[in-house]
Amino acid sequence: MKIKQIAQIALVSVVPLAAATDASAATIIADTVIEFFDSGAGSFTGTRPYGGTFDGSIGTFPVEVPLSYATDGDITTFVSLPTGSFIILGFSTGFVFDGPGLDIFVAEVGGNDELADIFVSSDFGLTFTFLGQATTATVSGFDLADIGFTGQVNAIKIVGLDNFGGSPGFDLAFVQGLEGSVIITEPVPEPGTLTVLSLGLFGIAAMLRRRRA
């Protein structure tokens, strides 16, 4: 099964730098699903995608889950990626760049030697560069400097490498851009909003002129 979405995050690429805010104290969650592919691997026989919830001691899995379980920033919810399955995530509010130290976190739930290959893209998932391998039951950190990547990361691909665990495959909780490595782009106003704003400014100017007369 393959799910592909033409994400509105492409708007970020046309925002001038003057409209971007350097939010060095901010983090950013990959909150948009650009593409999802289910390889059909693994022993789960129910409806896919699958995954579950797990708080470190108890949980419910494997069950059918929404893909938002990989974009909600919650360490207790996850989407499982068995061998060959992948998900491509994007950022609706900005991008990640090579800042000081680690730049990207990939969080995995559980502890059954589950691994995933991580790739980064600066063209919203058209082409990818291998970043490294995320490991199990931890938050794996990556430094873009390790691969000499100098572009703006606006898409990240996570590919499952095994079928281990009670919910077979790499249990992806979230992907995060780290403090000091994030640019938050200001929302682009809709044309209608710009029109209303202009009318409001004209009205204020007219009122001020009347008061001065």
Has residue 77 been placed in a domain? yes
Task: Over range 132-154, report the average pLDDT.
Answer: 97
d(CA 24, CA 126): 27
Q: Which range marks the domain in which residue 32 is found?
A: 2-187
Mark out the alpha helices in the chain (DSSP H runs). Answer: 191-212
CATH number of the CATH domain containing 21: 2.60.120.260
Residue 119 lies in a domain: yes
**How does residue 13 score in pLDDT terms, banded at 50, 70 and 90?**
very low
Higher pLDDT, 143 or 201: 143
127 found inside a domain: yes
**Token digits of residue 133:** 């391998």
Instruction: Give 212 or 83, the one with higher predicted confidence.
Output: 83
Determine, yes or no, domain membership for 10: yes
Q: Which pTM does this prediction carry?
A: 0.81
Confidence of residue 110 (pLDDT cuts 50, 70, 90): confident
Whole-number average pLDDT of the chain? 85
Is residue 201, in this structure, part of any structural domain at all? no
In a domain, 101, yes or no: yes
| Arithmetic mean of pLDDT, 161-182 | 96
| Tens digit of each residue's pLDDT (9 = 90 or more) over 38-63 | 999 999 999 999 999 999 889 999 99
Give the integer Cα–Cα distance in Å for 202 and 25: 37
Q: What total of structural domains would you count in the chain?
A: 1
Average pLDDT score over residue span 72-93:
98
- Residue 38 belongs to a domain: yes
pLDDT tier at 141, thresholds 50, 70, 90:
very high
Q: How far is CA 199 from the centre of its chain?
A: 37
Is residue 26 predicted with pLDDT exceeding 80?
yes
**195 assigned to some structural domain:** no
Q: Are 20 and 185 in contact (CB under 8 A)?
A: yes
The answer, yes or no, to whether residue 204 has pLDDT greater than 70, is no
